[in-house]
Chains A and B, each alone.
Chain A
Amino acid sequence: MKDLFKNLKKYPLVIYFAVVLYGIGIADLFSPVKTHSELENRELATFPKFSWKQLFDNEYTPQIEDFTEDHFIVRDKWISLKSISESLLGKTENNGVVYGKDGYQFTKFVTTDYSQMEKNVGYINKFIDRHPERNVYFLLAPTAPGVMTDKVTADSPVINTDYILGYAAENLVGNALVDVRDALKQHTDEYIYYRTDHHWTTLGAYYGYETLMNSLGKDYTTIDNYKMVDVEDFLGTHYSKSKTYNVQADTLSYIDIEADIVINDVAAGIYEKEKLEVRDKYAMFTRGNPGYATIKGNGQGKIMILKDSYANCMIPYMVADFEEIHIFDMRYMTMGLDQFITEHDYDDILFLYNCETFLSDKDLVKINMFN
């Protein structure tokens, strides 16, 4: 053993890698444990509590590995290093996000399985058939790849919104479909979709809103009546996955209005402005995605909205034009919708989903349940 150490100076490579391996390992042991990753906008793994059951199901040890990776020393720097390396290799995707031109990022879709989408159209038809006396509309919003086609690199594996909208147009009963494609496509030179997030911008939502109100045959307050407030440095959901080192941040805007949203009988501002301080800025609209919430407006008519988060930045425009807005997120619904409809006697019922959610949403089945 003594000889080993005596000769060690002849082996600088051994000393060097021992220092690297043990140095990083020990420094990592003493690096502080964070609970939340700002970069990735997610909760980091917590150290697993030991349980024999988990151990025998082979579920315990992977959690320790996840914990080690999630809390590895200077994790964010490693992630940037990988991003730089990927970019040198000419990769234009990471972690389910595909890069387009001018800093645009899109959700990656390699599969062409439309079965869930077809089922979802069926659920909405069934709902419409059950409520023949109501005006039911379905605004199926295209996501960025379907509108900002100039920003999509050729052959990229992104969603085919035209196919989905075409299927919906053909198979929905009556004239329920509100097709906002043309309205959006007229404005592709404007900032209507975020680059780093899967949502449309507040401006994009406005063009959708115009088409919707024309379909409903209602007057609406035009955008020049509002003051826009801009918030810089918005990094959205796509960036949380791709973590590109050379990201161009977005600007999030909202119309400067005052209104209350009632969630679980508690009223609060329609904008949760605290969210503007954190990564997940889009969550400021309608205070995230409440299961059921109501908003009192200053216009005419009651509208029921069954929606995903694309609706959130459109709803502020509705405050001026509707008397009451009731929003439902089917993920959290455990009650039948029909009793709400009977009780509140809505003038209009609106489904508002984006094509990507609608393609795989598994909660729409509930619109015909629990009654």
Chain B
Amino acid sequence: MIFSNIFFMFRFLTVVLLIYYIVPYKYKNGIITIASLIFYSWGEVKYFPIMIASTVVDFFSSQYIEKNRGDIKKMRRGLACSVIFNLGSLMFFKYTDFFISNINNFAGTSIPLLRIPLPLGISFYTFQTMSYTIDVYRGKVPAEKNIINFSAFVTMFPQLIAGPIVLYSDINEKLNTHEGRITLDGINEGIKLFIFGLGKKVLIANNVGALWTDIETMGFGVVSTPLAWLGIIAYSLQIYFDFSGYSLMAIGLGKMLGFDFPQNFNLPYISKSVTEFWRRWHMTLSGWFREYVYIPLGGNRKGLKRQILNMLVVWFLTGFWHGADWNFMLWGLYYFALLAIEKMFLLDWLKKHPVPARVYALLTIAVGWAIFYITDLGMLGRFIVKMFSFSGGISAGYYFRNYFVSILVGILCSTPLTIRFYEKYKNNNVVMIPVLTAIFLLSVAYLVDSTYNPFIYFRF
């Protein structure tokens, strides 16, 4: 199930919230678990056991670590159990076929592919549960004593399939708080965030995204240079509004349930460097890699050479995390190269020249999205040549007329204007209620006649 869906909003959410608010506090985490398991099984009933296994393995490994605190050998055993299980299932489900097909390509063998569908959200929840065990091992958080509370953390439907990546330490207090978890303030804010997120996804992302799909249908190599640019702008807006809209809906739903999830996007397209972009884009993922990979490897504390190597590892993994294909690795390495160059000398120059810095950042990010999307490397090459060669092909005229307004709206909403509007009027119901009503009703209208409502993280 996805949030931007009539059934989710008017059937699932209404029923779940009603039950959740009515039952006594001691049952609320149980209700979250049951609702989340239904939510998860709705899309992929076969993988219900994985969800259960994930909960049980991490719960007991952490218990084991907690019980044997001080006995480093046993603690490590508990940690290994969790990490091997999580990384193992991620490797198995997500990467096996990629390795098999590459072995087949290089060695000329014909090992059959497994062709198992990727469990929904596996990249998100394996990271989440793994970080919990690591935090228990490090003594940062106490192990959760109640398996129902823990399963509510693992399965919690708002963030289950597309993030943000919520750490146990983000919500453990609220999970164990009974009185006062749910506040009208929280519900009030949650409604606003959910509707803004819904609008971002349905009204902006879906609206501009159809352009990119058309270009894919005609073939990335046959478009004219202006259409190639129009397309990559549309896709850049689509992936931002889709992903950040989805995160915002998740944060809003979290607030309605009484939890504060971390912020995941902070106006990434106003960045003046790639370094800054990655502090504003999918912040919980970059935070995760920093906390659990980069810093343990030594971060920047062991000299520049070692730091660059650590960055290489992190960005290779970040790329590969996004999908099991060469282009995702290339995408990760592309960002590694840019970040390394910025770290070594470019960043200082960019700081002094804000206008070229913005142009540079947007340009490199746009090229990055082309690498990210186009899995066929030959096709990717042709598209990038199109972008920079000023050549003819299918004209942009029709698409420009059709998407000009939507793209303009998208660009305006990528600037701090929306945040300023929200900060100014968030407690002014005379403004807020009509605006939210319009966004909500229009979104419902687009969902009822949904000709284009994709779920674009299926490879994550």
B402 touches A81 (CB 8 A): no
B44 touches A58 (CB 8 A): yes
Give the most central of B5, B45, B402: most A CB within 10 Å. B402
Tell me the chain A residues, 78-136 only, with Cβ under 8 Å from chain B. Answer: 78-79, 81-82, 85, 88-96, 110-112
A155 to B417, CA, bound (A): 34
B6 touches which of A11, A12, A72, A81 (Cβ 8 Å): A72
B14 touches A25 (CB 8 A): yes
Contacts of A156 in B (CB 8 A): 398
A81 touches B445 (CB 8 A): yes
Give the most central of B188, B218, B432, B449: most A CB within 10 Å. B449
B188 touches A11 (CB 8 A): yes
A-B contact pairs, 10 of them (CB 8 A): A12-B429, A13-B436, A24-B444, A61-B45, A69-B448, A79-B445, A81-B441, A85-B445, A90-B404, A92-B398
> Does A8 count as interface, using CB distance less than 8 angstroms?
yes
A351 to B187, CA, bound (A): 65
B449 touches A17 (CB 8 A): no
Contacts of A81 in B (CB 8 A): 441-442, 445
B207 touches A89 (CB 8 A): yes
Given contacts A4-B184, A14-B191, A68-B10, whether A155 and B397 have CB atoms under 8 Å apart is: yes
Given contacts A85-B442, A110-B217, whether A11 and B187 have CB atoms under 8 Å apart is: yes
> Does A20 count as interface, using CB distance less than 8 angstroms?
yes
Given contacts A78-B445, A82-B448, A110-B218, whether A69 and B46 have CB atoms under 8 Å apart is: no
> Does A215 count as interface, using CB distance less than 8 angstroms?
no
Contacts of A65 in B (CB 8 A): 1, 5-7
Given contacts A72-B448, A111-B217, whether A155 and B398 have CB atoms under 8 Å apart is: yes
A78 touches B449 (CB 8 A): yes
Contacts of B398 in A (CB 8 A): 92, 153-157
A13 touches B191 (CB 8 A): yes
Given contacts A8-B184, A10-B184, A14-B187, whether A110 and B449 have CB atoms under 8 Å apart is: no
Given contacts A4-B182, A10-B184, A110-B218, whether A24 and B10 have CB atoms under 8 Å apart is: yes
Contacts of B441 in A (CB 8 A): 81
> Does A246 count as interface, using CB distance less than 8 angstroms?
no
Closest-CB distance, B358 to chain A (whole angstroms): 27
B448 touches A75 (CB 8 A): yes
Dominant secondary structure of chain A at its interface with chain B: helix
Contact with A along B203-247 (1 / 0, CB 8 A): 000010000001001100010000000000000000000000000
Interface size on A, residues (CB 8 A): 49
Tell me the chain B residues, 411-447 only, with Cβ under 8 Å from chain A. Answer: 429, 432-433, 436-437, 440-442, 444-447
Which 3 residue pairs of A and B lie closest in terms of their CB atoms, listed nearest first? A78-B448, A155-B397, A81-B445
Shortest Cβ distance from A10 into B: residue: B184
Instruction: Report the tally of A-B residue pairs with Cβ distances under 8 A.
Output: 123
A64 touches B7 (CB 8 A): yes
Contacts of A154 in B (CB 8 A): 397-398
A111 to B398, CA, bound (A): 15
Contacts of A55 in B (CB 8 A): 45
Dominant secondary structure of chain B at its interface with chain A: helix
A14 touches B45 (CB 8 A): no
Closest-CB distance, A245 to chain B (whole angstroms): 11
Contact with A along B296-326 (1 / 0, CB 8 A): 0000000000000000000000000000000
Tell me the chain A residues, 15-29 only, with Cβ under 8 Å from chain B. Answer: 16-17, 20-22, 24-25, 28
> Does A56 count as interface, using CB distance less than 8 angstroms?
yes
Task: Give A residues with C-beta under 8 Å from B.
Answer: 4, 7-8, 10-14, 16-17, 20-22, 24-25, 28, 55-56, 58, 61, 64-65, 68-69, 72, 75, 78-79, 81-82, 85, 88-96, 110-112, 153-157, 243
A56 touches B10 (CB 8 A): no
A153 to B399, CA, bound (A): 12
> Does B352 count as interface, using CB distance less than 8 angstroms?
no
> Does B401 count as interface, using CB distance less than 8 angstroms?
yes
Given contacts A81-B445, A154-B397, whether A56 and B46 have CB atoms under 8 Å apart is: yes
Other CB < 8 Å A-B pairs besides A25-B11, A85-B445, A111-B217, 18 of them? A4-B182, A8-B184, A13-B191, A17-B195, A17-B436, A61-B43, A68-B7, A68-B10, A68-B11, A72-B10, A89-B207, A90-B405, A95-B451, A110-B217, A111-B218, A157-B214, A157-B398, A243-B449
A28 to B444, CA, bound (A): 13
Closest-CB distance, B373 to chain A (whole angstroms): 17
Contact with A along B2-27 (1 / 0, CB 8 A): 00011101110110000000000000
> Does B406 count as interface, using CB distance less than 8 angstroms?
yes
Contacts of B195 in A (CB 8 A): 17
Contacts of B99 in A (CB 8 A): none
A90 touches B187 (CB 8 A): no
> Does B282 count as interface, using CB distance less than 8 angstroms?
no
A61 to B450, CA, bound (A): 17
A90 to B437, CA, bound (A): 22
Contacts of A112 in B (CB 8 A): 218, 222
Given contacts A81-B441, A155-B397, whether A13 and B402 have CB atoms under 8 Å apart is: no
B433 touches A16 (CB 8 A): yes
Contacts of B447 in A (CB 8 A): 69
Closest-CB distance, B458 to chain A (whole angstroms): 12
A22 touches B7 (CB 8 A): no
Shortest Cβ distance from A12 into B: residue: B429
Shortest Cβ distance from B447 into A: residue: A69
Contacts of A4 in B (CB 8 A): 182, 184
B5 touches A20 (CB 8 A): no
B395 touches which of A16, A24, A155 (Cβ 8 Å): A155
Contacts of A12 in B (CB 8 A): 429, 433
